[in-house]
Structure 1
């Protein structure tokens, strides 16, 4: 009986430790619901038109914090492994700007493509989608 209680207590202890570690690293859990940061993009879509296959194209997006709190980009999630990204800064002061660069590799792509990249922020909306389109020949 004592052994059973010890096993259950140990299991409970480790499950609590794992849950607290997940909450610290989960970007969605860390979003401030009362944040006064606000996002303004110079654009939310780039159309590359007709481009050759097996090339690398780059889309640049400027982000401005129009709110009164520091804007934090907590995660960036491209929908394809063919897309890499660079962010000039992940914390943007009020009235300041940052640059998001999305690099899309058209290797083995053909026809109409649509690539989406989601930015997770500490704003009330939380999720913003950037879209890139092209026709690959």
Structure 2
């Protein structure tokens, strides 16, 4: 009798696991997850756009797009993105300090993968001094 109950529990466990894996959700696919600005002049903000497509079966809703640094500003599609449609995340980096940079942006949503990490990298270089002739 104990073996029969144990066997039923195992079968039910597999059934629940299989149904959880087939659960339909939203999911995004980005055109790129890392953008390299290369060398950029100091004092001139730079912007890039990360485009994504909802490859899932439910509307994709971004709940927060949070840069990990105050030198980066994010704007994003705030309306639900239907399956097969696209949205965008616009990132602006304030190139105030001369140095290499590697900044992370945390994207939180209702997708299968609830948090995605986007990166921007590059190097801020001093502006060339104007020549006096």
> Is TM (by shorter chain) over 0.5?
yes
2:61 partner SS: strand
Paired with 2:108 and 2:79, the residues of 1 have a C-alpha distance of 11
C-alpha spacing 1:78/1:35, structure 2 compared with 1 (3 Å): farther
Other-structure match for 2:119: 131
Which one has a bigger Cα radius of gyration?
2
Q: CA deviation at 1:35?
A: 5.2
Paired with 1:61 and 1:96, the residues of 2 have a C-alpha distance of 14
Paired with 1:66 and 1:91, the residues of 2 have a C-alpha distance of 13
Residues 21-36 of structure 1 aligned to structure 2 (within 5 Å): 36=25
Query: Any stretches of 5+ residues in structure 1 without a counterpart?
Result: 1-33
Which consecutive aligned stretches of 4+ in structure 1 deviate over 4 angstroms post-superposition?
A: none
1:92 partner SS: coil
Query: Any stretches of 5+ residues in structure 2 without a counterpart?
Result: 1-22, 126-133
8 Å Cα contact 2:65/2:76 also seen in 1:
no
Paired with 2:43 and 2:70, the residues of 1 have a C-alpha distance of 15
Query: What do you get for the CA RMSD once the two structures are aligned?
Result: 1.2
Q: CA deviation at 1:124?
A: 2.1
Q: Deviations over 1:31-87 (max 9, x none)?
A: xxx551011000001101111111100011101000110101011110111111111
**Please, what TM-score do these two structures have when normalized by structure 2?**
0.73
Paired with 1:89 and 1:101, the residues of 2 have a C-alpha distance of 12
